[in-house]
């Protein structure tokens, strides 16, 4: 089973309070903010590696991003992926979720034969949750999102448990397919020292816009149907009220207050 895992490098959430948005370009100013692999994308890699251990085949990690996104790919290789593909070109800059999915789909069609594409359910920075479903549409394959468990009854059929509000839904997918996974699906492995040493001998391929054979107007900002219209700070206000009295009385008063404030 050949599996492509889409991963994205994102600012480390521990440093979110230091993130500044450029008022002119409306993009994140990344200077000084450490970057990590989007956390749930590590679960997607883990899921791919477990499937590869069962069915054999190849796991490829793929990202579209600036040159430093190579580090996220190297982490994927250290975890056990066999090959990595970096889509890096100024022409990709400013892509919204639609243009991102379009570009990833073009690269997968061109360079990555697959039975299964895995993504994270959402990123911690933009978090539109749209890249997976849009990518599946561009690849013209079935998909399931927010999957917390996968059961491959055969190599070609997957029963996916998708988490929905207050429950779950079981979906049967015939491969080729795309699945976006959430954090409940597994515990990602930590790269071993041997895994880290093996990265140097693995293939990390880099492609620009020319290699994709798609019109430039479909890429990056030019290919993005959405634009950031405005930016503003969201100030969170805290209401503070101290309740005194015997615990039972205070508890029911607290519940009443929370209801009044529409907090529960």
Ligand X SMILES: Cc1cc2nc3c(=O)[nH]c(=O)nc-3n(C[C@H](O)[C@H](O)[C@H](O)COP(=O)(O)OP(=O)(O)OC[C@H]3O[C@@H](n4cnc5c(N)ncnc54)[C@H](O)[C@@H]3O)c2cc1C
Residues that bind ligand X (CB under 6 A): 6-8, 27-28, 38, 40-41, 44, 62-65, 94-97, 100, 104, 119-120, 122-123, 125-132, 224, 226-228
192 or 226: CB nearest ligand X: 226
Structure tokens at 100: 């991102």
Shortest gap between Cβ of 25 and ligand X (angstroms)? 7
Structure tokens at 5: 């895992």
14 or 22: CB nearest ligand X: 22
Shortest gap between Cβ of 148 and ligand X (angstroms)? 15
30 or 202: CB nearest ligand X: 30
Shortest gap between Cβ of 228 and ligand X (angstroms)? 5
Residue 253 and residue 260: Cα distance in Å, rounded? Answer: 10
DSSP per-residue string spanning the chain: --EEEE--EEE-GGGGGG-EE-TTT-SEE-TT--EEE-HHHHHHHHHHHHHHHHH---EEEEEES-GGGHHHHHHHHHHT-SEEEEE--GGGTT--HHHHHHHHHHHHHHH---SEEEEES--SSS--S-HHHHHHHHHT--EEEEEEEEEEEETTEEEEEEEETTEEEEEEEESSEEEEE-GGG--PPPPPHHHHHHGGGSEEEEE-GGGGTS-GGGSTTTT-S-------------------S-HHHHHHHHHHHHHHTT--
207 or 253: CB nearest ligand X: 207
Shortest gap between Cβ of 262 and ligand X (angstroms)? 28
Position with the least CB separation from ligand X? 120
28 or 33: CB nearest ligand X: 28
Shortest gap between Cβ of 32 and ligand X (angstroms)? 16
Shortest gap between Cβ of 197 and ligand X (angstroms)? 26
154 or 232: CB nearest ligand X: 232
């Amino acid at each position: 089973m050949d599996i492509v895992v889409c991963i994205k490098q994102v600012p480390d959430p521990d440093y979110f309070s230091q993130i500044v948005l450029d008022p002119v370009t409306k993009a994140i100013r990344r200077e000084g903010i450490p970057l990590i692999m989007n956390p749930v994308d590590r679960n997607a890699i883990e899921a791919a590696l477990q499937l590869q251990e069962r069915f054999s085949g190849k796991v490829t990690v793929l990202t579209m991003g600036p040159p430093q996104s190579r580090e996220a790919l190297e982490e994927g290789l250290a975890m056990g992926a066999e090959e990595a593909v970096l889509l890096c070109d100024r022409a990709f800059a400013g892509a919204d979720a639609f243009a991102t999915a379009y570009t990833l789909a073009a690269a997968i069609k061109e360079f990555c034969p697959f039975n299964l594409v895995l993504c994270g359910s959402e990123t911690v920075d933009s978090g539109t949750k749209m890249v997976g479903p849009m990518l599946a549409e561009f690849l013209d394959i079935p998909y399931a999102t927010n999957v917390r468990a996968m059961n491959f009854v055969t190599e070609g059929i997957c029963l996916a448990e998708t988490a929905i509000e207050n429950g779950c839904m079981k979906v049967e997918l015939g491969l080729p397919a795309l699945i976006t996974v959430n954090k409940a699906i597994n515990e990602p492995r930590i790269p071993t020292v041997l895994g880290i040493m093996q990265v140097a001998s693995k293939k990390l391929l880099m492609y620009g816009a020319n290699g994709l054979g798609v019109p430039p107007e479909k890429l990056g900002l030019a290919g993005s149907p959405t634009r950031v219209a405005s930016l503003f700070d969201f100030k969170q206000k805290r209401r503070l009220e101290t309740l005194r009295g015997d615990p039972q009385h205070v508890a029911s008063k607290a519940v009443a207050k929370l209801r009044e404030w529409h907090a529960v």
